Amino acid sequence: MSLRFTLCAALLVASSSASASYQTSADKDGCWDAKQPRGGKCLQQTDHSWDGDKITVTYRNVCSERIYAKVCHDKKNGGSDCGAFGIRGNSNYKYYTYNASGDVSYNAVGSTQSSFDWVCKSRWNMKVNGS
């Protein structure tokens, strides 16, 4: 009985120590790692659609706190169309590109204050397509 109790207690401690990533990584400026409590990224691509050569991609912040995202959509001419924007917790953002090849890349950092987006971006070394 005591071994079972010890194992249950250990599991409880382990699960409670995996608290929200925002709570464990946020700094004084509201910058944080933009990861879910179990380690997955808060920013996810949830949908995309085509209209001729225009691609529209839906990005979702699956976390509760605001994130700052950067996305890049490759173009048929070899260039990229990149944009950066904030997404509130549990919200979507649609980004579209004309003359798109279909290749997309994205990344995000947690930023609870929009005035600190660029600070958070540099602090967490958020890179997309080498930029």
Res. 44: pLDDT tops 90: yes
Res. 9: pLDDT tops 70: no
Q: Give the Cα separation of 40 and 105 in Å (integer).
A: 16
Q: Give the Cα separation of 55 and 45 in Å (integer).
A: 13
Q: What pTM was estimated for this model as a whole?
A: 0.79
Q: Give the Cα separation of 12 and 23 in Å (integer).
A: 18
Res. 31: pLDDT tops 90: yes
**Of all residues in the chain, what percent carry a pLDDT higher than 90?**
69
Query: What does the pLDDT average to over 86-104?
Result: 97
pLDDT at 37 (0 to 100): 86
Residue where the block lists tokens 């917790």: 89
pLDDT at 69 (0 to 100): 96
